[in-house]
Amino acid sequence: MSSDSTPLEVERADTSTDGDVAVGSEPEDSPCPVIDSIEQIGSQWRLAVLHELQKGEYRFNELKRATDANARTLSRVLEDLGELGFVDRRIEEDAPIATYYSLTPKGRSLEPVFDEIECWAGSWLEESTSEDE
């Protein structure tokens, strides 16, 4: 390595003996899994829908009332979550025709995440409001 290398170049070049990149030096093109996850589920409405669907299957208007989303927003969010593989859509064609939404196994796998967020909120959000008083 030349003496005119920058510290960043040195860090990127540093690898372990088995070829893995050393700790603290991720390849530039490798995405952060936390960022990727938040991009898929992190909007206010996506989180609200995913959280509500943890309780079970909902019809569109039930989900609209439960999340307080407007119809256009909810429709867009359900379509996005369906394309991402988090939500299933089922149409019951008996009169009256009804559309039902439920979580896929991928969506249900988020249950422990929501449980942890609720636990964290119970501890830290109470503390921050009592500190503000």
With 0.75 as the threshold, say if the pTM is over it: no
The 10s digit of each residue's pLDDT in 90-130 is 999 988 899 999 999 999 999 999 999 999 999 998 766 65
Q: Is the pLDDT of residue 13 over 60?
A: no
Confidence of residue 35 (pLDDT cuts 50, 70, 90): confident
CB neighbourhood size of 35 (10 A): 9
Can you tell me the distance from the alpha carbon of 37 to that of 41, in angstroms, rounded to the nearest whole number?
6
- Identity of the residue numbered 40: Q
**Residue 131's pLDDT band (cuts 50, 70, 90):** low
Cross-strand bridge partners of residue 89: 101
Those residues whose C-beta lies under 8 Å from the C-beta of residue 118, and which sit 6 or more positions away, are: none
Angle at 99 between CA 97 and CA 105, to 5 degrees: 150
d(Cα 74, Cα 38) in Å, to the nearest integer? 19
Sign of CA dihedral 79, 84, 88, 90: positive
- pLDDT for 57: 98
**Is residue 34 very low, low, confident or very high in pLDDT (cuts 50, 70, 90)?**
confident
Band of residue 44 on the pLDDT scale cut at 50, 70, 90 = very high
pLDDT on residue 96: 87
Predicted pLDDT of residue 8: 39
Confidence (pLDDT) at 14: 40
Residue 42 confidence (pLDDT): 81
